[in-house]
Each structure stands twice: as structure tokens, then as C-alpha cells.
Structure 1
Amino acid sequence: MVSLTKSDIKRSNSLFFKPFKPLVDHSSSLSQIDELISSKRYEAAMKLAVDLRNLSLEGLHYFQTYDWLMLMTVITLGYSGWMIVLALHVLQCYSSLSGDLSRKGQLSVQKKDSGKVYLSGCLLMAILSVLNLVEHSPPLYHAYIGMTVFLWTQIFSEHRLLRGLWRYLRERKAGYFIKLLFAAAVSVVVVELLVHSFTERKLYTWFFLIAGFVASILLHVSIPWRSGIPFFVCISCWFLSVFTLMPAEIPDNNNLVVISGAIIIVVSLAAKWLDTHAEGNKFWQSITFHESRKPMCSMLYCIQILLVGVSSVMVFLSTKHRTQNQELHSSHQFINWLVAGSSMVLPLFSGNGILSRLSSIFLGFAPPFLLLSIGYEAVFYSALAVVLMAWILFENACRYSSKAKDSSILEQNTEEHVTIGSDERYLQLSDVRIPLIFMVLFNVTFFGTGNFASIASFEISSVYRFITVFSPFLMAALLIFKLFIPFMLVICAFSAITKLVRVPRLGCYFLVILFSDIMTIHFFFLVRNTGSWMEIGNSISHFGIVSAQVVFVLLLFALTNLYTRTIRVKPLSTSPSLKTL
């Protein structure tokens, strides 16, 4: 039997072997079956044989998952250790905690103590490596255990920081712990929503309905004067919530794509009007700031508007030729490539204010997205951009309303050192909202118009406007590029917001990694080895996609940095009180 073979292999390699107890006396069961057959009691022999077969299958599963508990424990400890290391790094480098503990004499570093920790870690690693070699464990076992030991060695080497953190928390008042628990609860709820959205994308509808209502109420309280910002934020969130109710398989609707081009132009005109007419207002000065007014900016804006209009016309003409079974003209194909390629370069020459640069990026990626769209996903592009604008307005209002509060804190001469430099401040507990909102928007950019099943079943007409000859690699590249465009919009807005509120972008990115790892652990425990092939494949793919999301976001950060690195934000005031913003 296969289960006996597996048992012999494990017995010969394992130092502490645990047999499958129901099959320990399998030889007596076989002898009993032979006796029943000899006495012509076939029904009883058949029943005993079926029971033995079922036990053999259970034994096979037992030996196939023999190391399951050990591997689950090691991998979970590895992820937990990585998250703790990441959290300690954020606290040390991007928060005021390290400076507070140093001033209180709670963070004196002794290399001798750290050396003992590293020596103990090396000894433990050596012992575990020898045990794995004796048991002939696969190379991946060595990698899992080695990484886990390394991470926890790093944690214990920061024992003085951990003790200082414990003393720091003991000195806090009850109000601080209430805020801490509230932030933790909100973070857990959002992360769990993201986990379940992989199988139920309609959860985003409820999220944006609630977020629009809550954000509008907060803005109504924060802004001391009447404005349409709370209403705009609410309507934009509710508008985006509609798309996750639509089918993942996008139906062809050429007229909707053409109309969406007009919607993109209207949205950009509104942003341009705000950028031009609200620059003198103190509330808008952070997002409408320009170091210099370039004469070419207006001309650049007109060119981008023209390219969006041309792309809408080319969508109509290309689809008309296809529906009439006519071959796409080479001139049309050339114009499509030219419009899509040139439009993505133009944002590099736009103004350096937040609103002007993000509007130019929005217009720059609109032509290729329109030319690759076949239905309602073209409208989703504008809806996503409007929500990103609402996010910027929300953060700007929070920054504006916090000025007076931060000034009063400075006047009280507190010991809080909350600035890293002239351009950035330390992260605070309330800043957790920024990576959380980013993760929600980053995920809804895909789930707003599809699901994982729709990747493999895209409509060929979405790439017809660029290529008419069947080329699977080029077609797949165009599809992936189309999926990348909304992601890039979200990351550009995220980078602009970190500059607006003066928080370190790298610190926020580490928090994104932290929350992504929480999702990864959840998906790790949801991986299945039983059931249908689709269920097993989906569980593995979800775990793999979330694991790769960290690297994917990092690559897009590097790419979008070309567009966002020159963005400038005007301080709310030149007074020293701004150092506590």
C-alpha cells in the first residue's frame, strides 16, 4: 500500500516518528480478511476490506500532511516576525518614539547584549539545520526555518527598545489606549473587508456608501465655512460604489466609451477651473501652488484635451470598421499608437502643483485607456479619478483644520519632537488612515470592473484598435498595461498626499506592507488541499497574488515617481507652528 511506503520513508528519516495508529495492526486486518475469504464469508471480508481501504486513504493523507503543523507554525512565526521587525523599524525611523525614549534614557544601546542574542540565534540555527539534515528535509524547510530564526533574532536584539516601548505605554493615559484600540479595530475591519472582497466584490459597494457618508460628516465638522466639498466627497464615493454591482464580464458598448471621453474632459475642465480660480484662497493654497507659471502649461493642457477627443473619435471609427467587417486602416492604427504613446509623456512637462500635475496625469493616461476599453470600464476611469480627488480634498481639509490644534500644542511647550526635517514630519497614529485608504483604492481599481476569472476571458476587441494580426504576447501586454493604468493613478495620488500632509512616503509604504502581510497570513490559512480543482486553484492564487502585491506596488512606485517627484506643496504658513503639522 502507498500509505505503508510513505510510513516507511518517514520512519527512516524522522527522529521522532509518530505512526498512524489505526494502521499499526494492518497485518492482523489482512490476516482476518484472508480467513474470512477462506471460510467463504465474502460479505464480511468485503466490508473489512472497504474499511481497510478507507483507513489507507486516511493514512496516506496523514503522511502527506505529516509536516503540516510544523510548517504552518514556522511560516506563521516567520510572517509574524517580519511584521514585528517592520513595525519596530517604522517606530524607530518614522515616529517620535525613538527620540522620546532616548531623551528619557530608556534606549541606551549595548552591543554586548546584542552579541549574545546573535550568538544564541546562530546556535539555534545550527541545531535546527543539523536536525533537518539528519531527517533529509527538503531545501525549502531550511529556508523557512532559517528566515524565521533570523527575524526573531533581530526582534530579540531590540530588547531594549521593546522594554522602552513597554514603559512608554505604561505611562500613557486611558485616552491614548482608547485611540490605539480604535485604530487597531478599524485596521482589522478594513483588512478583513479586503480579504473577503476577493470572493465578494460587492463589499466595496457597502464600503464606499458608508465611507462617503462618514467622510462628508467629518468634513462638515472640520471645515469652518460653507462649501460643497462634503457633498462632492459623498457623491463621488457613492458613484464609485455602483461599479462593483455591475457584471465582471464587460459587455460591448461603444457609445459609452465615446461618452466617457466627454466625461473625462468635463472632469479635467473642473479641475483646471479650480486650479486657476482658487489659488489665492488660503484653504486651496496647498494643492493649487505653483512655483512658477509656465506659458506652455495652458498650451499643454489644450493638447491633452485634444488627444482625449481624438482618442474618442478613433474609438468610434475603429469600432465602426470592425462592425462592418472592414479591415482597420493602417493610418488609424498608426494614429492610435501615436496618440496613446505621446499622451503619456506630456504630464512630465505640466505644472508642479498637486492639482495641476495630477490632472495632467489623469488626462495623459486617458487616451490609451479609452482606446483599450469596450464598455463601462471607461466610465470607471473617471469615477476613480473623482474619488482620488475627493481623497485629496479630505486630506487637505484635515491638514487645514489641524493647524490651529497643532499651534496650541506647540504653545504648551510639549516634549513631542514631531519633525524629521523641513519637508517631513513623524508619523502619528491618525496617519494609519492613509495606507488603509490606499489599500482599499488599490484593490478596487481591479475589482471595480472585474474579478480574477475575467483576466483569462478578456474580449479581443479591446486590443483590436492597436493590432489586427493575432499576436498573443502583444495582446496580453496591452491587456496588462490597461490593468496597470488605474493602479498608477492611485499610486500617484498616494504620493501626492504624502507630500501634502508631509509624512514620509517610505514609512507609509512600510505600513502598506504590514497590512498586506496580515492579508497574506489570512489567505495562507485559507489555502485548501481538498475540494474541486477550481477551489484549490483559487485559494492558492489568492495567496500568491497578495504575496506578490508588495513587490508589484514597489515597482509601480518606482515607475510613477517619474511623474510625482517634482510635485511641490506650499506650506500653510511660514510660522514655526507649522513644524508640528
Structure 2
Amino acid sequence: MERGWKEAGLVVLGIVLHALYMLSIFDIYFKTPIVHGMEPVSPRIQPPAKRLVLFIADGLRADKFFEMDASGRYRAPFLRSVIREKGRWGVSHARPPTESRPGHVAIIAGFYEDPSAVTKGWKANPVEFDSIFNRSRQTIAFGSPDIVPMFCAELSNSHWKSYPHEYEDFATDASFLDEWSFEQLRDFLNRSKTDTNLEKIFDGDQLVIFLHLLGCDTNGHAHRPFSSIYLNNIEVVDAGVKATVELVERIFADQRTAYIFTADHGMSDKGSHGDGHPANTETPLVVWGSGVRRPSPASPEDYEDDDTKFVDQHERHPPTPLGWGLRDIERVDVNQGDIAPLMSTLLGLPCPMNSVGSLPVAYLDLNEADVAEAVFANAKQILNQFLQKSRLKQATSLKFKPYMPLADYETIVKEIRKLIDKHQYETAIESAQDFIRLSLAGLHYFQTYDWAFLMSTVTMGYLGWMIYVLLHIIKNYTSILSHPSIPARKSKASPVQKNTVRIVGVSTLGVCSIILMVEHAPVLYQLYLALALLLWTEILSDSDFLYSVWNAVFSASPMSFIRTALASAVFILILEVLVLSFFMREVYTGVFLVGGVVGAVAVSCNIPGLSMIPAFVWASCWFLSVFTLLPVQISDNILFVVGSGFVVLGLAFWSWQLDRSLPADQAMRSIVCGPFYKSRRSNKIFYIQQAVVVAMSTCMVWVSTSIRGQKRGLPLPIQLMNWFLAGISIILPAFSAPEILGRLTSIFLGFAPPFLLLSIGYEAFFYSALALALISWILVEATLIHSPVNVDHDDASFHSVICDSIAPAFKATRPLKLGDMTVALCFIVLINVAFFGTGNVASLASFEISSVYRFITVFSPYTMAALLLWKLLIPFILVTCAFSAVMKLLKLPRLGCYFVVMLFSDIMTIHFFFLVRNTGSWLEIGQSISHFGIMSAQVVFVLLLFSITNVFTRDIVVSPREQVKLT
């Protein structure tokens, strides 16, 4: 009982450690830019515009907007005429996470989202911030209920309206959502002619009109950005913008209106977004109206094919594609956060106080004096953030290290002011822009001020955790220390010595905590340090055990030592190959090509009579190896999904007949079919019921897709039937026969219906390929323990490999051996290929959101995310069930194997920890964070899988050894 509580505590400690250290990445690299207590900086200019109309087409890709269609015409003729005749254009580069809320925050407030917003689903403001809307005299907004209330609900100076969530139906053409927004503004403007209250709203300057257009995003998710519905939606948006502009120009004849058209993020070919792929980060930007420069011809270097442009130190983008037909017009790209200072300048407003955007002067049609004043105000606003962060850090640091390049910032400010006063505007603008870059570098300096402390603390914490887990495995799950060749320590450490180590550790923690408290460091800093010191104190306090482990390692025979060292090196090498697989999915193709050959040879060498099994192992591994060569962009193909349903039924039938294909006197028949194979006829009715559910699910895939193809909502009875089939199917395996092959076949059939209903293309075949590989794994392990070599051994640990009856959940287990580490390593390989088989790990955006449309079509982010996660979880459940069966087969301790998996995962985790970066392209930055986060979460994820699969595998029965007859 005491040991059980200790191990439960160790598991909880592992979960807490990984969760905290995953958060440490944001403290090290990506602290929130929000600071308070600053004064706004108003530009000393005459505002060029009295009002600004902001159009944000949610989910609109830049290339689909700018390029011509198959018939040779452009999809947005009005906005294209604006580019050529009235305004400026470019590409706005978003940063991940490319979601709606972070994108709108960047556009409207000028900074890149606080990562803590993800805990609220990007729906609420975790920290209040300044924006264009609350700086304006009046804001009028219409659009989505997920965006408009977020920015306007708490503003007294706003008038807004949004449509109900039920309007967001993915089974229909969502362009009517955009028409709704245009219609609301049109009615509002027309009523202002007769309503004196509304007339007062429009009478005056500093007015912002915001239209959020969700149609492209919804249609992109539902039908993909290559679909006719998505592309036609662009035409709807263009026509709506044209009608709105014409109406505004009629009502306000003063020609003092500025217009900005852009998008919050793009859309991947798979109908998703979220990561840093250019399809998601590149959005269109068109600006025209009062205060905006007219088009200019491009210089030759702007459209040379070998030219590479830089937006800032993070982003690089290629030249304008020929298909856009805009190489002759000057293109001005911006970072998404640069739009906020542009809007502020056009309206004569102060930049939002936490904006990190740099004013794109190439868009402004102002005299040089006003441009210089606007850029100077932008520079002082960013400087104020730097100074506030510097003051806060200096007030709490015992040994403050200032940012030396800005130590004499007052002199720089005075010099820029003198240049403006002397009318040296061009030099002043260049100096102010340099000053902005320097201030942004200073902000980054303070955002990573504690980098060295945090990196060293977290690294020591990870190393301490891995050593602690390794020692726990050696102490509780191996028999290494009981070997008679290991000498005992002559003098053991006294309790006083152990307590001394603990007192030193606690004292060190106390001193460090006091220092951190004096510096007003975040509570998380205290926790990072406390975990690291706690682990190392516990490790060093048990000197007797450390001495025993040292002796066990170095007292072994030379051959044993060399064998252990080589095995450890091979394990680490394989784990490093798995790290590489996060960047190259094709690695798994090589792994399974080699694995198929090794498995087949292992079976042939151990039990030569099983001629069919080696061929099956080889073929199944090679079949699975194909999937990591296929593109992650999965095209809709209903025939693949329906065909895979028949494949599932065929494989299940083959599995039921496997015992007949094996000779009656072979050990393999007993191990894979169980002690009840002679009475399996009574279970056939149960398996037929499962097969009927699979067949019905296959039919529902066809029916649901056909209805969706008619561009109408999915009827409620169809949705309920799909939910019923997916729900009932996953319950049945728990009641199937307990032998290994029968139970795993039942699990395979049970999870097939939800996976088929959530599939859209070739990934449905991956399900069957993975199941075949898992059966191969079990067959290989079975042949290894039933080989004549192992049978001839009269070792008690080998004799107890096979359960001798219908075992309860926790039968006695044997100690772990070095060779058993391969089982945990195989599990990690398979659990990763379950993820990589049909996707990649950039983010959840890499997987098909359209997979959920057979269950729900009306927009519901949490339900859709749950269904998407469930689809991703199903292959993991198959792998974990097979892993549990192998542990039963080999009589391995379940929790001990979990700790081995955790240890192997942490070796990869600490590698990814050092690969996290905050420089380079945003695709690279986003992927580095995702990779680290995925591996950090694996300790919790695998534990969750163990808990789920225990329902299906706890009563699995392996044949008693006495029933095994070898030829």
C-alpha cells in the first residue's frame, strides 16, 4: 500500500513537472508584451481621415485573393481596380497561432497575443489592452458573435451587432454571413439619414467602422480553399466591399474616408489554420482613401525572380507570383501588427499603448513633416513600453543589467526632434525607424531577461527528473541490485547524513526563494526552482542506493558491461532518429522497412515451422511504411473511406480464421487464440454483431457525404444515427472473449465505426494498416518467448512468463530486463507513427476539420475540437491496447513499463527543449514550440491512454504454459 501511494505521488509529480516546464517556454521566450502605466503619444499631425472603414475577411488566403481563376479573370475585380488606380497593396504577414482572435488583436491592438488566451479558447480577454476601437470617438461593428463582442461588448463608445451562432452551419454556403454584415451596415447608414441619434454618431471625426466577414473562414473549413464555394465567396466579399464603399462615399461626400481590407489569417489546403505555414500567415492587404498614397510602378528589383524580400528579422517571402498579375505595381508587405499604427495615423489617434507595430510609411500620402512626426510618435510609443519594462525590472532586481544600446535614449530622442525642427525630414524618418528597431530589440531583451536562469533551472529539473525515474525503475522493477556479484557497502549512510543533505537542499531553496521574492519574480519561477532542488536533494540523499547502482554498473563482467553500454547507445540513437522524424515523416518508412525484415527473421529463427507468420510480419510492416510517404494534404475521397470499411471487415474475418490456418500442435495457435479457441463458435454471434455495426457505419459514411454534397444541412436523424453507431461500437469490445487475438480483433472492430465516420480519404486505410502491424508485433513477441531456446530454460522468471489461468487485473510480474526496454521503445515508435501516419505535428491544424461534419455542422469549437481529438486518439488506443497485451504476454509490470516510456520520452523532450526558438520564420518558431509541447504532454497523454485501454485489456487471458505444445 505504501509503495502504491509513493508511485501515485511520482506519477502526479511527473505530470506537474511536465506541465510547469512546458509553461516555462513562454516565460523564457514569449512573455506577454502588455504593460500598464504609460501615457499615450498623439502624433503632431492634422488627421488625413475623419473616418476609417476596416474590412476583415476571416480566413482569406492571399494567393486565392490575388490570383486569377481558371477562366482568366480575377476574383476581386473591384479591389483589384483599387490596387491599380486608387491605393496601395501588399501581403500582411500573420504570426502563429493563426487563429481569429490573435489575428484580430494584432490588427486592432498592434501586439501579438498573450499565450494565456488559449486557456479561454481565444474567446475572452485574459488581460485588458488598449486598441483602436477604444481610442476612437465611436466604433460601429457588425459580424461574428465570436469576434465582434470580444472587442466591443465592454466599450461605451461602440454600437455593434452579431448574428446567432446557429448561422455558422458548415453544411451550407456560408457567404450569406458576409451578406448579413454588409446588409446591417447598409441599413444602419441609411437610417442615419432620418434618425438624429444615429446622425450624431456619424457626425465628427475619429470614427471606426468594422465589418467582420466570416464566410471565407467557414467555407474554407467546410469545403477547402480550392472549392468553388470558397472562391465564389471571394467574389461575394468583393461585391459587398464595392457596394459599401459606394454607399459610404454617397453619404459622406467630404472624401475624408480611409479604407483597409485585410484578413486575420489564411487557410491551409486541408481547410484548417493555426500553424505558421505561409498558407495561413500570408493575407491580403489593400489600403485606399484619404491619406493613402496612390499606386506606384514597381522598380525592376521588386519583381526579379531571384530577389528575396525581408519584412523584418523574422520573415522572408518570395517575389510576387506571376499569376497575380501585379508585378508592375509596387508591393509593400507589412507585419500584421503594423496595421494598427497605420490606422492610428490615418485617424490622428495615438497608437495603442502596447502596440509593437512599425508604421508603414509607404502607405501614407502625407507631407514629409507629418510623416516624420507620425513615425516619431510611433517610436516614442514603443520607447515608453521599453522604459516601463526597464523600470519594473530595475525596481525588483538586486543586480540590474540595463540594455546598453538604449542607455542614452534621451539623446536619441532629442536628436530626432532637432532633425524635425530643422526640416531634415528624410533623415529624421530614417533615425526614428532605426530607433523603433532598437526599442523593439530592447523589449525583446527584457522579455528574455531571465533566459539564463530559467534555462539552467529547467534543464537541471529535467535531468534530475530523468535520473530520479531511472533510479526508481532500477530500485523497484529490476533485480540488478540483488545480484550476488555486487559487493555491499561496508559503511552505510546514517540518517543524520541523509537529513544533512535534505537540510542543505531546503536551505538553498529558502535562500533562492527569498531572492526571487525580493525581485518580485513570478510564482512559476519559484516552482521551477523548487522542483529542480527537490529532485536533486532526494537523489543525493540516498547515497547508499547510488553506491549500489554504481557497483552494479562497474562490477559486472566486461561482456555484460559492453552489452549494456551498446544497448543504451542503440536506444538513444533510435530516440534521436525519432526526434528527426518530427521534421521528416519519411524516417518511419525506413524504420518499418527495416522492422519488417528484422521481425520476419526473428520469427523464422525462433520457430522455423511458422512459414506464414514471417511473411505476414514482413508484409504488414511494409504496408504501414507506405503511409508516411503520402502527402499530409488528404483529399476528399468517399470511395477510399467506403472501401476501407470492407477492408476492416475482411481483416476481422481473417483474424477469426487465423487459428485454423495454424497447425493444431503449434504453440502459436495457443498463444494467439487463447485457451478457449475450441469453443470460439459461441462468440461468433457477438463478433457478427460488431461487423454489422461496421457495415452500417460504412453505409452512413456514404449517406452523410451524399447529403453534404447537395449543399444542405445534415438532417438530425442522420446525425443521431452516426452518434449512436460511434458510441455503441466502442462499448462492445469490453464484453468480448478475453483471449489476446479475440479481444484485439473486437477492439479493432469497435473503434472502426467512429474512425470511418471521421475519415475523409486515404487515412481510413491507415487504420487497418496500423492494426496489422500491431498484430505482427504481438506475433513476434509470442514467437520469441515460445521459441525452443526459451522453453528449454528452467528459469523461474521465464517459467512465469505465461499466465496460468484467467488472471485478475494485477497478477505477479517478473522483473524488468535490459531486453524488455525494446518493448517500450516499440511502443514509442508505434505511438508516434500513429500520429505521423496521416499528418504532421505542426499543430492540430495539420488535421482535417472537415472530418467532423458527419456528426455536427453548426459551428461549435469545443465539440468539433473534441471530435477531432477523438479521431487522433483512436490509433493511439489501438497501439496502447496492443502494448498492454504484450505486457500481459511477457508478464511485465504495467507501471514499470510506463516509467520506462516516460524516461524515453523525456530524453526526446529535453532535446526538443533546446530546439525551441524565437527567431527565424514563424513556421519554424511555431513548429519548435509544438514539438516540445507534444513531447512534454506525452507523459500525461500516455497515462490517459493506459487508463482508457485498461477497460478493454485488464482481463485479457494468455494461454497457460502447460497447454503449449511445441513440435
Letter in 1 for 2:824: P
The 5 Å alignment of 1:290-369 reads: 290=675, 293=679, 296-325=682-711, 328=714, 331-369=717-755
More helix by share: 1
Q: Which shifted more, 391-400 or 313-322?
A: 313-322
Cα distance change of structure 1 residues 123 and 459 upon mapping to structure 2, 3 Å threshold: closer
Q: TM-score, normalised by structure 2?
A: 0.54
Cα distance change of structure 1 residues 7 and 408 upon mapping to structure 2, 3 Å threshold: same
- Indicate whether 1:551 and 2:935 are aligned: no
- Indicate whether 1:135 and 2:542 are aligned: no
Contact 1:76 1:521 in 2 (8 A): yes
Residue number among 766, 770, 773 corresponding to 1:387 in the alignment: 773
Aligned partners of 1:318, 1:241: CA distance in 2, in Å? 31
Q: Which residue of 1 aligns with 2:915?
A: 526
Q: Which shifted more, 544-553 or 88-97?
A: 544-553
- Indicate whether 1:81 and 2:464 are aligned: yes
Deviation at 1:201, TM superposition (A): 1.7
The 3-state SS of whatever aligns with 1:16 is: coil
Deviation readout 1:197-250 (Å, 9 max, x if unpaired): 223222211221122222223333233435222222121111111111212121
Contact 1:286 1:572 in 2 (8 A): no
Q: Which residue of 2 aligns with 1:538?
A: 927
More strand by share: 2
The 5 Å alignment of 1:141-160 reads: 141-160=525-544
The 3-state SS of whatever aligns with 1:214 is: helix
Deviation at 1:327, TM superposition (A): 5.9
Please, which runs of 5 or more residues in structure 1 have no aligned partner?
412-420, 576-581
Residue number among 613, 624, 646 corresponding to 1:229 in the alignment: 613
Deviation at 1:434, TM superposition (A): 1.1
Cα distance change of structure 1 residues 28 and 341 upon mapping to structure 2, 3 Å threshold: closer
Of the two, which has the highest radius of gyration?
Answer: 2
Deviation at 1:338, TM superposition (A): 3.0
Residue number among 438, 446, 449 corresponding to 1:66 in the alignment: 449
- Indicate whether 1:492 and 2:878 are aligned: no
Deviation readout 1:385-409 (Å, 9 max, x if unpaired): 0000011111112212375377166
Letter in 1 for 2:612: G
Letter in 2 for 1:484: L
Q: Which residue of 2 aligns with 1:283?
A: 668
Aligned partners of 1:55, 1:141: CA distance in 2, in Å? 28
Aligned partners of 1:28, 1:342: CA distance in 2, in Å? 74
Letter in 2 for 1:353: E
Q: Which residue of 2 aligns with 1:474?
A: 863
Deviation at 1:253, TM superposition (A): 1.3
Deviation at 1:86, TM superposition (A): 0.5
Q: Which shifted more, 218-227 or 52-61?
A: 52-61
Deviation readout 1:76-119 (Å, 9 max, x if unpaired): 00011011111110001100024338985349674332222211
Q: Which residue of 2 aligns with 1:194?
A: 578
Contact 2:603 2:783 in 1 (8 A): yes
The 5 Å alignment of 1:155-234 reads: 155-234=539-618
- Indicate whether 1:116 and 2:505 are aligned: no
Q: Which shifted more, 189-198 or 549-558?
A: 189-198
Q: TM-score, normalised by structure 1?
A: 0.87
The 5 Å alignment of 1:437-516 reads: 437-452=826-841, 455-456=844-845, 462-516=851-905
Number of residue equivalences = 566
Deviation at 1:36, TM superposition (A): 11
Aligned partners of 2:843, 2:502: CA distance in 1, in Å? 49
Contact 1:248 1:454 in 2 (8 A): no
Contact 1:129 1:142 in 2 (8 A): yes
Contact 2:485 2:556 in 1 (8 A): no
The 3-state SS of whatever aligns with 1:90 is: helix
Contact 1:101 1:164 in 2 (8 A): no
Deviation at 1:514, TM superposition (A): 1.0
- Quick one: percent identity of the two aligned structures? 49
Aligned partners of 1:50, 1:377: CA distance in 2, in Å? 50
Q: Which shifted more, 173-182 or 20-29?
A: 20-29
Q: Which shifted more, 18-27 or 224-233?
A: 18-27
Letter in 1 for 2:959: K
Contact 2:839 2:847 in 1 (8 A): no
Please, which runs of 5 or more residues in structure 2 have no aligned partner?
1-382, 798-809
Contact 2:841 2:930 in 1 (8 A): no
The 3-state SS of whatever aligns with 2:871 is: helix
Contact 1:95 1:428 in 2 (8 A): yes
Deviation at 1:295, TM superposition (A): 5.9
Q: CA RMSD in A?
A: 3.4
Contact 1:74 1:145 in 2 (8 A): yes
- Indicate whether 1:268 and 2:652 are aligned: yes
Q: Which residue of 2 aligns with 1:579?
A: none
Deviation at 1:6, TM superposition (A): 4.7
Contact 2:645 2:694 in 1 (8 A): yes
Deviation readout 1:494-529 (Å, 9 max, x if unpaired): 001001011111111111111221222122112222
Contact 1:183 1:432 in 2 (8 A): no
- Indicate whether 1:90 and 2:473 are aligned: yes
Deviation at 1:355, TM superposition (A): 0.8
Cα distance change of structure 1 residues 106 and 393 upon mapping to structure 2, 3 Å threshold: farther
Aligned partners of 1:491, 1:566: CA distance in 2, in Å? 15
The 3-state SS of whatever aligns with 1:287 is: helix
By relative contact order (CA 8 Å, sep 6+), the higher-ranking structure is 1
Deviation readout 1:323-371 (Å, 9 max, x if unpaired): 3456655554444333322222221221111111101110111122112
Q: Which residue of 2 aligns with 1:418?
A: none
Aligned partners of 1:172, 1:302: CA distance in 2, in Å? 55
Aligned partners of 2:621, 2:512: CA distance in 1, in Å? 53
Deviation at 1:441, TM superposition (A): 0.9
Contact 2:842 2:930 in 1 (8 A): no
Cα distance change of structure 1 residues 33 and 454 upon mapping to structure 2, 3 Å threshold: closer
Q: Which shifted more, 288-297 or 557-566?
A: 288-297
Aligned partners of 1:363, 1:483: CA distance in 2, in Å? 17
Q: Which shifted more, 353-362 or 326-335?
A: 326-335
Q: Which shifted more, 378-387 or 203-212?
A: 203-212
Letter in 2 for 1:93: N
Contact 1:77 1:148 in 2 (8 A): yes
Letter in 1 for 2:839: G
Letter in 1 for 2:609: W
Q: Which residue of 1 aligns with 2:378?
A: none
Residue number among 120, 126, 138 corresponding to 2:510 in the alignment: 126
- Indicate whether 1:564 and 2:953 are aligned: yes
Cα distance change of structure 1 residues 49 and 187 upon mapping to structure 2, 3 Å threshold: same
Aligned partners of 2:943, 2:846: CA distance in 1, in Å? 28
Deviation at 1:296, TM superposition (A): 4.0
Q: Which residue of 2 aligns with 1:517?
A: 906
Cα distance change of structure 1 residues 295 and 469 upon mapping to structure 2, 3 Å threshold: same
Aligned partners of 1:42, 1:322: CA distance in 2, in Å? 60
Letter in 1 for 2:871: K
Deviation readout 1:150-208 (Å, 9 max, x if unpaired): 01011112211111111222211222232222222222222223223223222211221
